[in-house]
A and B are shown apart, each in its own frame.
Chain A
Amino acid sequence: MNITQAEYGELAKKASPNTKSYKTIPSAFVVGGGICVIGQLLFALYRDLGLNEDSATTLVSISLIALSAILTGLGVFDNIAKFAGAGTLVPITGFANAVVSPALEFKSEGFVLGLGAKMFLIAGPVIVYGTLASILYGIILWIIRLF
């Protein structure tokens, strides 16, 4: 071909359409914000039921995780996510979906090597590096407190 890799890279970039951010950013904001509102409402509800702040916060997370796991199982979550983009991905709901969807998908390879082994295919790295980051954070905090 009568073209260099760099030239072709430019050409390919020009030919590839960009994401329509004017559509995707507002929908991510609305859905992501909506999930936070649901969380806040649940928090108020749990407080009204007499739970202390700590327990209510934990229960909100558990409720949202359960909700997105159920919606993933029902095959609805990915349809919402298609519209919402990062709006469903970033909150804790995205994490629940990332665990449940491979669990569903790889069931066909059995409960041990399929479901069990592949369940953390997407969420695994988040857990690994999340744990590492928290260790690092702990060390830094410890050093700071020495002085």
Chain B
Amino acid sequence: MSELLSRGVFRLMSCPSIEGAAAIVGAKEGEGPLGALFDQVHEDSYLGQDTWEKAESQLQTQAVQTALKKSGHKPDEIGLLFAGDLLNQCIGSSYGLRELQIPFYGLYGACSTMGEGLGLAALFTDSGLIRRAAAVTSSHFCSAERQFRYPLEYGGVRPPSAQWTVTGAGAVVVGPSGKPPYLKGVATGMIQDLGVTDINNMGAAMAPAAADTIRRYLEATQTQPSDYDRIITGDLGAVGSELLLDLLGREQIDLSAQHDDCGLLIFNREEQDVHAGGSGCGCSASVLCAHILNEIQSGRWNEVLFIPTGALMSTVSVQQGESIPGIAHLVHLSSKRWPQPEQE
């Protein structure tokens, strides 16, 4: 059963396991520093489909199928499926997952969706209501560009603070296998808005949300950053990461030794010309599934906080001059369980 530590912060007493995970990505991500770790790298940005939206759905289908295969379970053994993406009305998920016939919750948390989905999957399995859940998210550079920015062949130039949407999907299966990596805690993000209006500076818009969620989790669990091997945010990029450290520094929390960011891990920023780093739902999801979980499984890292970050604006709100609200959901991953009470 889960224990409520403070508002929106939960300790998962049964420590559900991640039984299987998969990351499917595009060519550019395959050329990045984590390239060899992904389950599949697609050279064709269309994945054999005729539109980029269908390609993105395909990424989700393949990610879930691969994660299920690796966990050794079939779709009908999954009690709930949590999924989301960046496309309007989350069509990446609903079209990509319709054949699976798993009870489905479509989520929108922008690029924080993996934190939201994984957190809910963990809470539902920990509660004992269901035995096994899955979470998946995706993003696709081409489908995101045309929805949020300009056509691909348009010769506009991005400012240095802009980020590059990751083409990729990550899926996890959460269940009671009793093997690491374990899920030990969840913190639900609160919407934070410090008035950033620049659509090309999402890192700055999301950093306050990440700072707030991390601070709340540390406070509720009475832990320090040094109690963790890594504290990894979703896609703050270079600008947002600097701001996060600055914001928490003002609260006497020093994250500099433990902090990393999926948006900075997935690409070689200079060589791959991605400006401030990677972004998108697929960014944190694919880095989680290909890299973070492996490091925990191998025992190199023991305690990890994973905090996907999302910018909750739409093209309409931005055009109307509204500022960009941010959100960040935290999941505490570990190679060890909480000390378990003696079995009777």
List chain A positions with a Cβ less than 8 A from chain B.
Answer: 1-3, 5, 8-9, 11-12, 15-20, 24, 72-73, 75, 77-78, 80-82, 84-86, 88-89, 94, 97-98, 100-102, 104-106, 108, 121-122
Q: A81's contact among B157, B201, B204, B246, by CB below 8 Å, is which? A: B157
Would you give the shortest CB distance from B24 to chain A, in whole angstroms?
22
- In the complex the two chains form, what is the Cα distance from A82 to B192 in whole Å? 34
- In the complex the two chains form, what is the Cα distance from A8 to B246 in whole Å? 10
> B243 in the interface, Cβ–Cβ < 8 Å?
yes
Contact between A98 and B154, CB atoms less than 8 A apart: yes
Q: List the A side residues contacting B152 at CB < 8 Å.
A: 78, 101, 105
Contact between B243 and A15, CB atoms less than 8 A apart: yes
Q: List the B side residues contacting A98 at CB < 8 Å.
A: 154
Q: List the A side residues contacting B160 at CB < 8 Å.
A: 16-20
Interface string of B210-241 (1 = CB under 8 A from A): 01100000000000000000000000001100
Contact between B239 and A16, CB atoms less than 8 A apart: yes
Q: List the A side residues contacting B156 at CB < 8 Å.
A: 81, 89
> B76 in the interface, Cβ–Cβ < 8 Å?
no
Interface string of B158-169 (1 = CB under 8 A from A): 011100000000
- In the complex the two chains form, what is the Cα distance from A122 to B160 in whole Å? 22
Q: List the B side residues contacting A80 at CB < 8 Å.
A: 155
> B98 in the interface, Cβ–Cβ < 8 Å?
no
Q: Could you pull out 16 A-B pairs where Cβ atoms are within 8 angstroms? A: A1-B211, A8-B194, A9-B195, A12-B239, A15-B239, A16-B201, A19-B160, A77-B153, A78-B154, A78-B155, A81-B156, A81-B157, A98-B154, A105-B152, A108-B53, A121-B151
Contact between A82 and B201, CB atoms less than 8 A apart: no
Q: A1's contact among B53, B212, B239, B276, by CB below 8 Å, is which? A: B212
Contact between A72 and B211, CB atoms less than 8 A apart: no
> B51 in the interface, Cβ–Cβ < 8 Å?
yes
Would you give the shortest CB distance from A85 to chain B, in whole angstroms?
5
Q: A8's contact among B53, B161, B195, by CB below 8 Å, is which? A: B195
Contact between A122 and B153, CB atoms less than 8 A apart: no
> B99 in the interface, Cβ–Cβ < 8 Å?
no
Contact between A12 and B212, CB atoms less than 8 A apart: no
Q: List the A side residues contacting B250 at CB < 8 Å.
A: 2-3
Contact between B154 and A1, CB atoms less than 8 A apart: no
Not counting A17-B238, A24-B157, A78-B152, a sample of 15 additional A-B residue pairs whose C-beta atoms are within 8 angstroms of each other reads: A3-B250, A5-B194, A8-B194, A11-B246, A12-B196, A12-B239, A15-B239, A73-B153, A75-B153, A81-B156, A89-B157, A101-B152, A104-B151, A106-B151, A122-B154
